[in-house]
Structure 1
Amino acid sequence: MLDSPEFPIARVRASYPALSDGYAYLDGAAGTQAPRSVIDAISAAYRAGIGNVGAAFPASHRSDAIVAAARAAVADLVGGHPDGVILGPNMTTLTYRLSRALVGPGDEVVLSRLDHDANVRPWTQTGATVRWADVDPVTGELPVEQYAELINERTRLVAVTAASNILGTRPDVAAITELAHRAGALTYVDGVHSTAHGPVDMRELGADFYATSAYKWSGPHIGAVVADPALLEAIRTDKLASSLDTVPERFETGTASFADLAGVTAAVDHLAAMVPDPGTDGPVPDPGTDGPVPDPGTDGPGTRRERLLASMAAAERHELELFGVLLAGLETMPHVTLYGKPARRTATVYFNVAGRAPREVADHLALLKVNVWNGHNYAWELTAALGIRDSGSAVRAGLVHYNDRSDVDRLLDGVARLG
């Protein structure tokens, strides 16, 4: 586990306390571990004292600042505007809430069978007419051509994932959203799986709404949906009569988890600090390890958005290099069946072992201190399309930026033993 000039993996791993337990954490697609800086930020918020927002006293002012910082951080991560960042407990809850405000009976929505169920079921339950985009079950691709027939003048919204959470498939979201916009439809892009695996620009994707979850990119269990503030101004939603009617607050119900929101900002700062900054001789210090990261707009080299783009691009190259080793190793094993072979993908693999139930494989690997998931992983429509949902689906292993070659080798060795 040696650092490379481009991606200092040993330094990155050292910032994650949980990785010291001897396990290979290949379960990142279900949720990542937290770096020390995130843990410290959450703890510091509680130690300093926090109150509900909008009051006259200092503890409330601290919460006001925490919320504003979290909005700015998420906006930097995905290329949005802080005033368009809706925060909530998770992506699923926020998507259910927005679905009721955006579509209803008489509307048409276009959904994909590639998506996680959180970007499917909320829309099917609105009473809108659903038109389905199908997946090629062999390649795992989501063909763009079908959208030209699915989208029409009655289409209110097109919901699509930026990456499959089990196959890793990265569909051509920009081409799909362009077709939607030509017809006057809105687009809702599920970036929960994709955000952790490379740079994100929601405008380039054509996302009117971009959903993400901090726990998939080293943060706490907080969800966010990002949109243009002007678009949000035009949308009404059910809310308490006494709660704020401003944007984005009108979409946020109940009291926020302010300490966790402090962890969201720390997670974004951590991601921005993973690699050497352009024009410097070394990596930007990571909060909680080597010192504070410069705030955006200070004398630190580059804005946080610029540092994020560089850092996440390097992390993606690191992950895909490791993934090449993992995929090649599994492909040599005759007792392993791999699902999907998309041209563009995240470092996520879905497979079965001959004669073994998926849970049996996961149990075997857990005994070897290798963490993987088994089952449908909420890819409800996709596992049905693959013909495996009713038989336990498959095993999923997913790499994130803190995984190294030893994690991959341990997985391959464990699967080989089942041959």
Structure 2
Amino acid sequence: MAIDVTALRAHFPSLDSGLAFFDGPGGTQTPRPVADAIAATLTGPLSNRGTISPSELNAEQSVADFRAAYADFLNMPADGIVHGRSATQLTYDFSRTLAKGWKPGDEIIVSRLDHDTNVRPWVQAAGHAGVTVRWIEIDPQTAEVDLESYERALSPRTRVVAVTGASNVLGTKPPLRRIADLAHEAGALLYVDGVHYAAHHLVDVPALGADLFVCSPYKFLGPHTAVLAGAPDLLETLRPDKLLPSSDAVPERFEFGTLPYEILAGARAAVDFLAAVDPGEGKTRRERLAHSWSSLHAHELALRTRLEEGLQAFGDAVTLHSKAQDRTPTLLMTLEGRDAREAQIHLAARDVLATAGQFYAYEPFTALKLEGPALRAGLAPYNTAEDVDRLLDGLSSFL
């Protein structure tokens, strides 16, 4: 299985700029079919949802198509697919909703590996409810989660375990199935921040063991929006605050106000685009996604290997903090005696975009004792070996 990278790149107008993009973990570039789907829906005819006029029916169809696409993308029922503005917004909403059932003496578990999106909403909800927060630690030497700390933190009082599917800075993929099994044995729910994971792997929410799983299409070629998946029978048990006249049906009880129909169309188009990258003989969209993701994974792994070998050649001048055995093609590095922001500026002057910062990964940076910004290089489907060599050449002239 192999992808035609030249043909793939032809769908991305932004690549005509000549820029080499390594900022995919913060948001990927967008192919024209996604933009076309947004424009076609927005220019309508389009009205609020209804069952009478063509414009109302177009809005209804955009919602139905969105749910069907993410049902295939995440291997979940369509009525378990919830739209949200962002993963942060969804996590705040669901943490507050779940916290309604917490009481003093209860506990939750969060992770030192996580983006703050999957930490602070839970910690703040716990503070308001008077429940205890416990932590899954990480090993700074290996960038792996410490499963022993997780097992020590779990108890019959645990209500929710919140953990990432993959770190947005280190790339580390914790053993979600093991974490899920232990959480369920304790009677707890598992909430997974899959934003970075879904950008690099075919997601199978039931196989991962996640009760609630959130991701963001703009990390995998779509528009700026977010999706949460949960089993409909679980969603039925959750009672968010909502407007009295608004629907109480699942999943709509979690979606507040008029939906952005054009954005839903773009998010659906991103799934269809990924399914068409290398569809094989797949008869269903899920089968085409599986074949495409296998090829994309092989492509990104080859580029990651090329980049890592190039970075190793710099010796002690570059410290690579992404070390986990199982990880995405996202590399976090610090540069001996040099400011990562200066490196970003140097690379940008050479049309290579790799960003410096903390990337909302407060807990991982604290655990690794990284006091200043670090440089992050993340690979995406449209990257090439030439892009990697340009990044390495740029770093070589900086160091």
Q: TM-score range by the shorter chain?
A: over 0.9
Residue from 359, 362, 365 that aligns with 1:380: 362
Check the 8 A contact 1:91/1:212 in 2, yes or no. Answer: yes
What SS does structure 1 have at the residue aligned with 2:245?
coil
Q: Does 1:338 align with 2:334?
A: no
CA distance in 1, matches of 2:27, 2:280: 27
Contact 2:310–2:392 under 8 Å retained in 1: yes
Alpha-carbon distance change, 197 to 237 in structure 1, aligned in 2, over 3 angstroms: same
- In the aligned structure 2, how far is the partner of 1:415 from the partner of 1:255? 47
Name 1:93's counterpart in structure 2: 89
Per-residue deviation at 1:306?
Answer: 0.8
Q: In structure 1, which of residues 34, 38, 63 is the aligned counterpart of residue 34 of structure 2? A: 38
| Deviation (angstroms), 1:144 | 2.2
Partner-residue secondary structure (3-state), 1:125: helix
Q: Normalized against structure 2, the TM-score is what?
A: 0.96
Contact 1:147-1:179 at 8 Å conserved across structures: no
Instruction: Give the structure-1-normalised TM-score.
Output: 0.91
- Per the alignment, residue 201 of structure 1 pairs with 204
Is the contact between residue 137 and residue 340 of structure 1 (CA under 8 Å) also seen in structure 2? no
Partner of 1:123: 122
The 3-state SS of whatever aligns with 1:397 is strand
Tell me what 1:134 maps to: 137
Deviation, 1:198, is 1.5
Q: Which amino acid aligns with 1:395?
A: L
SS at match of 2:110: strand
Gaps of 5+ in 1: 279-300
- Partners of 2:319 and 2:103 in 1: CA distance: 42
Q: Distance in 2 between matches of 1:6 and 1:347?
A: 17
Residues 333-382 of structure 1 show CA distances to partners (whole Å, capped at 9, x for unaligned) of 03111113100110000011222211111111100100111111011111
SS of aligned partner of 1:345: coil
Q: Read off the aligned partner of 1:163 and give its amino acid letter.
A: A
The aligned residue for residue 308 of structure 1 is 289
**Superposition deviation, residue 17 in structure 1:** 1.1
Aligned-pair identity (%) = 47
Aligned partners of 1:339 and 1:77: how far apart in 2?
30
State the Cα distance separating 1:196 from its structure 2 match: 1.2
RMSD: 1.1
Q: 1:359 aligns with which of 341, 353, 359?
A: 341
Bigger CA drift: 136-145 or 113-122?
A: 136-145
Q: Could you tell me which residue of structure 1 aligns to residue 108 of structure 2?
A: 109
Superposed displacement of residue 276, structure 1: 4.5
The corresponding residue for 1:281 is: none
Q: CA deviation at 1:148?
A: 1.8
Residues 276 and 68 of structure 1, relative CA distance in 2, 3 Å threshold:
closer
1:205-354 → structure 2 map (5 Å cutoff) = 205-278=208-281, 301-334=282-315, 335-354=317-336
Q: 1:276–1:180: structure 2 CA closer, same or farther, 3 Å change rule?
A: closer
In the aligned structure 1, how far is the partner of 2:189 from the partner of 2:51? 37
Q: Match of 2:252, as an amino acid?
A: E
Q: Is the 8 A contact 1:138 1:340 kept in 2?
A: no
Shift of 1:45: 0.7
Shift of 1:105: 4.5
1:367 & 1:55 partners in 2: Cα distance? Answer: 53
Moved over 6 A (4+): none
Q: Is 2:56 the partner of 1:56? A: no
